């Protein structure tokens, strides 16, 4: 059977797609481009309305063409009726059920009607075969779900309460990936900072366990919310001292207005987020900061928005993921009074302009410096893709070195997406 997997969303969703790709291969089926597929697996994301609409259109369109559709990921957990309305013949894999894809594929010839598999607990996420999108990068999912309920967030409803995976199983999973030749380990979940709060081993201890694995590899710690970092901040700062961990912090603030944060049910103040960033920057002055901001959240006034703009100018994050607010079904924000869409668009555009200016200025100070970089993977065009200790991307056009080593380079230019460098002599 010819199968194509189309995936949307976060790195956890991408990791699930890698596992399902291996399942297709190991079940004796063939992975093909979508145009040649008998079966299309749509691994969904439901964070944004625009993505949801794109996915629903695809589910309907493929069904009308007579292509067999299997829908997995977050959407089946919270929008099953919408999916079945678009394609009554669609087969369903819940977010915990990706290990059952081979079973569904094998049953397609004999089953009648739609197959739906939902599991209460995550199954088949650790130490399982993967067909990676990049052979040098391993995405290690630490947990499933979240114990908080931000008013706008549908993911908590889709993935349920926090279930941290066993730390020893995570370490074994990473060890096998390093043995397979992976040189970057991405730690991902809905909120890495929550890891282990339902168990005995918290994130800082898990990081120490992963860092003890022999080999030349780097660790990118993915998104952590301010309210989950605060209780472990001292230990986390110490854990980041290990040279295997990129000095990289993805800390979503969503707004710099405490009034808006309260409406969002975000469990933190902007001052608490600032304390985390200030302490990281004090200990790691050249760290990289990513954050997320929602433009036009219900109840956000001009003064609230101004606070967010000023915060970006002050803290100068290297990347800001900007989302225009769109209400998600079943969330508390669904029934809130919306701001005029024209205002939302204007605020979003202003944020983009400010962020681009901040990003440009942050690049300028790097040009002319000699820095150590970790060689990650072959660049798309030519040469090698590398990362500084703080995860800043560097392309070395003329480089015949192998991934997995550290070398010193001279940065001579910058593009909107990365720095350009040559191996220092």
Report how far residue 231's alpha carbon sits from residue 71's, in angstroms, rounded to the nearest whole number.
Answer: 38
* Distance in angstroms (rounded) separating the CA atoms of residues 328 and 339: 15
- Looking at every residue in the chain, the average pLDDT score rounds to 95
pLDDT of 3 > 90? The answer is: yes
User: Stretch 367-385: mean pLDDT, rounded?
Assistant: 90
Please determine, for residue 111, whether its predicted confidence score (pLDDT) is greater than 70. no
CA distances from 53 to 76, 164, 189, 373 (A): 14, 31, 24, 41
- pLDDT at 365 (0 to 100): 82
pLDDT (0 to 100) of residue 364: 81
Residue 401 confidence (pLDDT)? 87
Can you tell me the distance from the alpha carbon of 357 to that of 343, in angstroms, rounded to the nearest whole number?
21
State the number of CA atoms in the 13 A half-sphere of 300 facing the CB: 30
* CA–CA dist 128, 251 (Å, integer): 30
Cα–Cα distance, 143 to 362 (Å, whole number): 34
159 within 8 A of 74, measured Cβ to Cβ: yes
Sign of CA dihedral 356, 396, 388, 425: negative
- For the chain, give the percent of residues with pLDDT over 90: 89
Burial track 79-92 (b if 16+ CB lie within 10 A, e otherwise): bbebbbebbeebbb
Q: Using CA atoms, how far apart are residues 289 and 337, in angstroms rounded to an integer? A: 32
The winner for highest mean pLDDT among 126-140, 293-307, 353-367 is 293-307
Q: Residue 191 contacts by C-beta under 8 Å, 6 or more apart in sequence?
A: 146, 148, 223, 224, 225, 228
Of the candidate ranges 5-14, 29-38, 55-64, 356-365, the one whose mean pLDDT is the lowest = 356-365
Using DSSP's 3-state secondary structure scheme, residue 70 falls into strand
Would you mind telling me the total number of residues written for the chain in this entry? 425
Per-residue model confidence as pLDDT tens digits over 303-317: 999 999 999 999 999
**CA–CA dist 186, 130 (Å, integer):** 15
Beta strand segments in 269-346, E:
288-295, 319-324
pLDDT number for residue 425: 75
What was the pLDDT predicted at 165? 98
Give me the domains of the chain, ranges plus CATH numbers: 2-117 (3.40.50.12160), 137-364 (3.80.30.20), 370-423 (2.40.50.140)
Helix, strand, or coil here: 30? strand
Cα(179)–Cα(177) distance, rounded to whole angstroms?
Answer: 5
**CA-CA distance, 274 to 230, in Å (whole number)?**
11
Tokens of 122: 């995550």
Pairing of the two strands 163-164 and 143-144:
antiparallel
Task: For 317-346, write each residue's pLDDT tens digit.
Answer: 999 999 999 999 999 999 999 999 999 999
Q: What is the DSSP string of 157-209?
A: HHH-S-EEPPHHHHHHHHHHHHHTT--EEEEESS-GGGTTTTSS--HHHHHHH
The span from the CA of 42 to the CA of 52, in Å, is: 12
243-264 pLDDT per residue, tens = 999 999 999 999 999 999 999 9
The SS3 assignment for 387 reads strand
For the sheet with 137-141, list strands across it.
Answer: 137-141, 184-188, 218-221
């Amino acid at each position: 059977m010819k199968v194509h997997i189309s995936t949307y969303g976060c790195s956890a969703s991408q990791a699930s797609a890698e596992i399902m790709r291996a399942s297709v291969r190991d079940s004796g089926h063939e992975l093909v481009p979508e145009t040649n597929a008998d079966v299309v697996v749509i691994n969904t994301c439901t964070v944004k309305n625009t993505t949801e609409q794109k996915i629903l259109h695809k589910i309907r369109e493929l069904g009308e063409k007579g292509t067999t559709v299997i829908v997995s990921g977050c959407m089946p957990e919270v929008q099953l009726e919408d999916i079945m309305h678009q394609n009554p013949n669609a087969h369903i894999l819940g977010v915990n059920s990706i290990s059952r894809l081979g079973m569904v594929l094998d049953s397609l010839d004999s089953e009648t009607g739609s197959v739906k598999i939902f599991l209460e607990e995550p199954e088949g996420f650790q130490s399982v075969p993967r067909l990676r999108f990049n052979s040098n990068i391993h995405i290690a999912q630490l947990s499933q779900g979240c114990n908080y309920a931000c008013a706008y967030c549908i993911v908590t409803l889709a993935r349920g309460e926090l279930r941290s995976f066993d730390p020893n199983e995570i370490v074994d999973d990473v060890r096998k990936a390093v043995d397979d030749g992976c040189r970057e380990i991405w730690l991902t979940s809905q909120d890495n900072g929550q890891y282990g709060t339902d168990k005995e081993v918290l994130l800082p201890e898990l990081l120490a366990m992963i860092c003890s694995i022999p080999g030349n590899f780097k660790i990118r710690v993915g998104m952590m919310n301010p309210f989950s970092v605060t209780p472990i901040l001292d230990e986390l700062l110490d854990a980041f001292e290990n040279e295997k961990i990129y000095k990289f912090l993805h800390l979503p603030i969503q707004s710099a207005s405490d009034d808006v944060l309260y409406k969002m049910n975000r469990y933190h103040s902007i001052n608490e987020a600032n304390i985390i960033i200030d302490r990281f920057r004090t200990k790691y002055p050249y760290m990289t900061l990513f954050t997320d901001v929602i433009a036009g959240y219900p109840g956000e006034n001009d003064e609230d928005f101004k606070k967010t703009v000023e915060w970006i100018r002050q803290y100068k994050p290297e990347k800001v993921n900007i989302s225009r607010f769109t209400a998600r079904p079943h969330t508390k924000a669904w029934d809130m009074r919306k701001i005029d869409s024209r205002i939302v668009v204007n605020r979003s555009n202003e944020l983009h302009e400010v962020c681009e200016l901040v990003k440009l200025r942050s690049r300028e100070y790097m040009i002319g410096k000699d820095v150590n970089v970790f060689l990650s993977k072959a660049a798309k065009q030519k040469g090698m893709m590398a990362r500084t200790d703080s995860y800043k991307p560097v392309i070395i056009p003329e480089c015949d070195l192998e991934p997995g080593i550290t070398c010193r380079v001279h940065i001579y230019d910058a593009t909107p997406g990365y720095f350009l460098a040559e191996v220092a002599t």
